[in-house]
Amino acid sequence: MPTSRPKAHRTTESALDMPSMGRALLLASRAARLRCPHCGKGRVLKSFNAVHDRCAGCNFRFNRSDDDYFSGAMFFGMMIGETLAVLAIGAAIWATYPNVPWSFLQYAIPVALLGVMIILFPVSRVVWLAIDVLLRPVERSELMDPVVRQPASEP
């Protein structure tokens, strides 16, 4: 029975679940391919700055709440991006030691830290969605089209 909910309510109320390692690896591979974490077929990203409303493969609604669902993705974007940037900087220092180009790195490091955040912005949304699906499995209702309501009165 469909129920109406307040606008900023989550569209899923599935309980948190302890994922298995196999499921975590499966969802990680789907996220790495930027695919739907539920079925692995449909693309999550519509463009660099936009997410599809629903999966083309399984009709899963990617935006799992009406209230800035993907704002939590920034954390994962920073975590992944800054880790990769620090590893790259460390590798550059290690490869050029003892003649490390410090004067170049003082400009390259801030550019790299900012650039990787921008480049990984769309990826962070897919990672966020995959982690959410990993911990809070998709409910059947999330795969269904929204109920089309008829106007209360016709003129």
* 80 part of the interface to Zn ion, by CB under 5 A: no
* 38 part of the interface to Zn ion, by CB under 5 A: yes
Backbone angles phi, psi at 126, to 5 degrees: -70, -40
List the x/- string, 91-130, binding to Zn ion by CB under 5 A.
----------------------------------------
**Closest Cα to residue 58, out of 43, 38, 44?**
38
Angle in degrees, 0-180, between the axes of helices 73-96 and 121-135, rounded to the nearest 10: 120
Nearer to Zn ion, 112 or 129 (CB): 129
* 54 part of the interface to Zn ion, by CB under 5 A: no
Do 36 and 126 touch, CB atoms closer than 8 A? no
Q: How far is the CB of 110 from Zn ion (least distance, A)?
A: 38
Measure the CA–CA gap between 86 and 38, rounded to whole angstroms.
32
**Per DSSP, what are the bridge partners of residue 51?**
45
Q: Which stretch binds Zn ion (CB under 5 A): 11-19, 41-49, 97-105, 115-123?
A: 41-49
List of residues contacting Zn ion (CB under 5 A): 36, 38-39, 42, 55, 57-58, 60
